[in-house]
Amino acid sequence: MMFPMKILLATDGSAEAGRAAQMAVEFSERLDSELHVVHVAPVPSAYSVPESLVCDPEFYERMRDFAGRESRVRLDEEVMKVGSMGEVAGAHARVGRPDVEILRLAEKLGVGLIVVGSRGLGPIRRALMGSVSDSVVRHAHCPVLVVRSATRDEDVPVRRAERRARV
């Protein structure tokens, strides 16, 4: 028998995060482990707003406050969904860069497994935009379970070839 551990589910409300939630609940029940849920609201970059707003010293704090309220609302929605599948031991709303905040919370809680969804952006979009799940996998202190969507654009040619092979 494995010993109980803490599991951290990072969710953004996407369909992939929903699949990750199902897996996280199943793991927490089978391993008799605590399940914690985190939602991170990103703060807009200073580079994405007009210069006049960047010069306003209170702008960044107002944006963080707004993002914090938004994160709490989204987290509450996700905890309701996850709670309908299983027990949630802790809910954590964060503001900042999602990968950094997920990893920071995982270290703080001492989790033994991080569960994240992945949209499967594809190599070009991932190179340009980065991937939260890729960064979490590369920098985590513990194992990370990346749950992909049920249907991915990259898999379409493979599925077509499999159908032709069966005919």
Q: What pLDDT is stored for residue 163 in this prediction?
A: 52
Q: What pLDDT is stored for residue 166 in this prediction?
A: 54
Q: What pLDDT is stored for residue 164 in this prediction?
A: 53
Cα 39 from Cα 22, distance rounded (Å): 16
The CATH number of domain 6-166, selected from 3.40.50.620, 2.40.50.140, 3.30.200.20, 1.10.10.10 = 3.40.50.620
Q: What pLDDT is stored for residue 131 in this prediction?
A: 81
The partner residues of 92 in beta bridges, in order of sequence, read 38
Cα 35 from Cα 29, distance rounded (Å): 9
The H or E element spanning position 162 is helix 156-166
Q: What pLDDT is stored for residue 128 in this prediction?
A: 43
What DSSP state is assigned to residue 87? Answer: -
Say what the pTM is: 0.80
3-state SS, residue 68:
helix
Strands of 42-112, DSSP E: 90-95
Q: Decide: 70 and 41 in contact? Cβ < 8 Å.
A: yes
- Distance (Å) of CA 136 to CA 3, 41, 130, 140: 24, 16, 11, 6
Q: Which of 18-22, 32-36, 156-160 has the lowest mean pLDDT?
A: 156-160
- Summarised one tens digit per residue, pLDDT across range 81-137 is 999 999 999 999 999 999 999 999 999 999 999 999 987 655 555 444 458 888 999
Name the more confident of 15 and 121: 15
- Summarised one tens digit per residue, pLDDT across range 121-167 is 555 554 444 588 889 999 999 999 999 876 555 444 444 545 555 54
Radius of gyration over alpha carbons of the chain, in Å? 18
**Residue 167, token pair as written in the block:** 């005919």
Cα 162 from Cα 66, distance rounded (Å): 48
- Summarised one tens digit per residue, pLDDT across range 42-75 is 876 655 555 555 566 687 788 889 999 999 999 9
